[in-house]
């Protein structure tokens, strides 16, 4: 029996005197790791704030493909419940890392806040602060930061676009479009503003596909990288709407 346990690919047939064939093998079974609580974190792959759950992978000895008992040692890993990405790290350890990373982000946020208090008109710092909050899914904090430093916000079309993107992430399309419009009023060729204005118009309810296509075309002519795909999507949905 001992030899049957080795190797995942091992599958043996043993002929019994009565002609009956026994199939032995091993099969890996993945199950939830009940010993760790899910961790809420921004998934490194899909970028969503998602539950990362612990999983256990363990080879089982099988007879006729039915698992009979576990062989070999369990391997623990973690998995994103949004996109299914697996990470070769235990969820518990991931939790510690997330906590450490959050701690670092918070310290960075505090440093940026202090810097802004000293120079409240610094748009570059405000943009960095909002972007940092958005990257960890703290959209409310990003909005508060913009409210706290209106001078920096009003002086920068880039900050306006970032704030618009934050509102878009919060599913507040009207607010978002308002900020994209303000950014465009300051800088007519700001491709990012046109692009996300297009995204907001296309994803609003109800969507405005013609206007979205027009914004996407301006973003494309100003060289925004993903604009071509948005143009095609908006134009195709506009055609469906008119059909
Ligand atoms: Zn993910």
Ligand 1 centroid to residue 138 C-alpha, Å: 17
pLDDT at 160: 98
Ligand 1 centroid to residue 139 C-alpha, Å: 19
Ligand 1 centroid to residue 30 C-alpha, Å: 18
Alpha helices (H) in 50-149, listed in sequence order: 91-118, 123-135, 139-148
Ligand 1 centroid to residue 49 C-alpha, Å: 8
What integer is the mean pLDDT of 163-184?
95
Ligand 1 centroid to residue 5 C-alpha, Å: 34
Kind and range of the H or E run holding 87: strand 86-87
Q: What end-to-end distance do the CA atoms of the chain give, in Å? A: 68
Beta strands 66-70; 75-80: pairing state: unpaired
pLDDT at 210: 96
In the chain, helix, strand, coil percent, each to 5?
55, 20, 25
Q: CA–CA separation, 4 vs 234, rounded Å? A: 58
What integer is the mean pLDDT of 93-117?
81
Instruction: Determine whether 84 is exposed, middle or buried from the number of CB atoms within 10 Å of its CB (0-12, 13-18, 19+).
Output: exposed
Mean pLDDT, all residues of the chain: 85
pLDDT tens digits, one per residue of 20-67: 666 677 778 888 888 878 888 777 778 778 888 888 888 888 777 777
Bigger pLDDT: 136 or 233?
Answer: 233
Ligand 1 centroid to residue 132 C-alpha, Å: 19
Confidence of residue 14 (pLDDT cuts 50, 70, 90): low
Q: CA–CA separation, 243 vs 240, rounded Å? A: 5
Q: CA–CA separation, 209 vs 38, rounded Å? A: 40
SS3 189: coil
pLDDT tens digits, one per residue of 106-120: 788 889 999 999 999
pLDDT at 21: 61
Q: Tell me yes or no: is domain 111-242 CATH 1.25.40.10.
A: yes
pLDDT at 237: 92
Confidence of residue 1 (pLDDT cuts 50, 70, 90): very low
Ligand 1 centroid to residue 81 C-alpha, Å: 7
pLDDT at 15: 56
Domain ranges for the chain = 2-87, 111-242
What integer is the mean pLDDT of 192-221?
95
CA angle 192, 198, 199 (to 5 degrees): 90
pLDDT at 19: 58
Q: CA–CA separation, 14 vs 118, rounded Å? A: 79
Ligand 1 centroid to residue 76 C-alpha, Å: 18
- 74-78, 137-141, 235-239, range with greatest mean pLDDT: 235-239
| Backbone angles phi and psi of 22, in degrees to 5 | -100, 130
Query: Residues with Cβ < 8 Å from 228, sequence gap 6 or more?
Result: 220
pLDDT at 109: 85
């Amino acid at each position: 029996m001992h030899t049957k346990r080795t190797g995942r690919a091992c599958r043996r047939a043993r002929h019994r005197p009565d002609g009956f064939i026994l199939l032995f093998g091993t099969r890996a079974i993945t199950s939830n790791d009940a010993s760790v609580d899910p961790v809420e974190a921004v998934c490194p792959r899909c970028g969503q704030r998602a539950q990362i759950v612990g999983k256990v992978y363990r080879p089982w000895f099988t007879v006729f493909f039915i698992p009979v008992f576990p062989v070999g040692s369990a391997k623990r890993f973690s998995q994103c419940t949004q996109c299914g990405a697996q990470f070769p790290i235990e969820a518990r350890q991931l939790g510690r890392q997330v906590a450490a990373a959050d701690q670092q982000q918070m310290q960075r946020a505090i440093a940026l806040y202090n810097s802004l208090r000293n120079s409240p008109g610094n748009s570059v710092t405000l943009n960095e602060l909002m972007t940092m909050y958005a990257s960890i899914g703290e959209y409310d904090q990003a909005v508060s930061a913009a409210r706290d430093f209106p001078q920096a916000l009003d002086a920068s079309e880039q900050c306006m676009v970032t704030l618009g993107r934050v509102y878009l992430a919060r599913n507040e399309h009207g607010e978002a479009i308002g900020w994209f419009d303000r950014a465009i009023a300051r800088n007519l060729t700001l491709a990012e503003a046109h692009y996300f204005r297009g995204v907001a118009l296309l994803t609003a309810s109800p969507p405005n596909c013609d206007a979205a296509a027009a914004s996407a075309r301006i973003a494309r002519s100003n060289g925004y990288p993903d604009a071509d795909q948005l143009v095609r999507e908006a134009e195709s949905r506009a055609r469906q709407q008119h059909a």
